[in-house]
Amino acid sequence: MTIRWYYLREFLLRAWLPVGLLVGWHLLGASQWVSPLLLPSLSDTLSAGVGLIASGAIFSDLQSSAYRFVVGYGIAVIVGVPLGMLIGIHPVLHKSFEFVLEFGRATPVTAFFPLFLLLFGIHDPSKIAMVTVASVFIIILNSAYGVYYASRTRQRVGDLFRLSRLQRFVRITFWDALPQIVVGLRTALSLALIVVVVSEMLIGTEHGLGQRIFDAYTVSNSPELYALLLIIGVIGYFLNSGFVSVEKRVIHWKGY
Q: What is the DSSP string of 60-127?
A: HHHHHHHHHHHHHHHHHHHHHHHHHHHHHH-HHHHHHHHHHHHHHHHS-GGGGHHHHHHHHTTSHHHH
Domain boundaries, the chain: 59-250
Which among 86-90, 97-101, 159-163, 220-224 has the top mean pLDDT? 220-224
Q: What is the CATH number of domain 59-250?
A: 1.10.3720.10
Confidence of residue 151 (pLDDT cuts 50, 70, 90): low
Across the range 160-179, mean pLDDT stands at 76
> Cα–Cα distance between 232 and 209 in angstroms, integer?
8
Across the range 135-149, mean pLDDT stands at 89
Task: Please measure the distance between the N-terminal and C-terminal CA atoms of the chain and give it in whole angstroms.
Answer: 19
Across the range 22-43, mean pLDDT stands at 83
Does the pLDDT value for residue 155 go beyond 80?
no
Across the range 5-29, mean pLDDT stands at 82
Q: DSSP 3-state helix, strand, coil percentages of the chain (rounded to 5)?
A: 85, 0, 15
Burial (Cβ within 10 Å: 0-12, 13-18, ≥19) of residue 155:
middle
Provide the pLDDT for residue 209.
92
Confidence of residue 101 (pLDDT cuts 50, 70, 90): confident
Does the pLDDT value for residue 29 go beyond 80?
no
Three-state secondary-structure class, residue 112: helix
Across the range 143-157, mean pLDDT stands at 76
> Cα–Cα distance between 244 and 186 in angstroms, integer?
8
Which among 21-35, 150-164, 237-251 has the top mean pLDDT? 237-251
Cα 181 → chain centroid: 14
For residues 229 and 162, the model is more confident at 229
Confidence of residue 193 (pLDDT cuts 50, 70, 90): very high
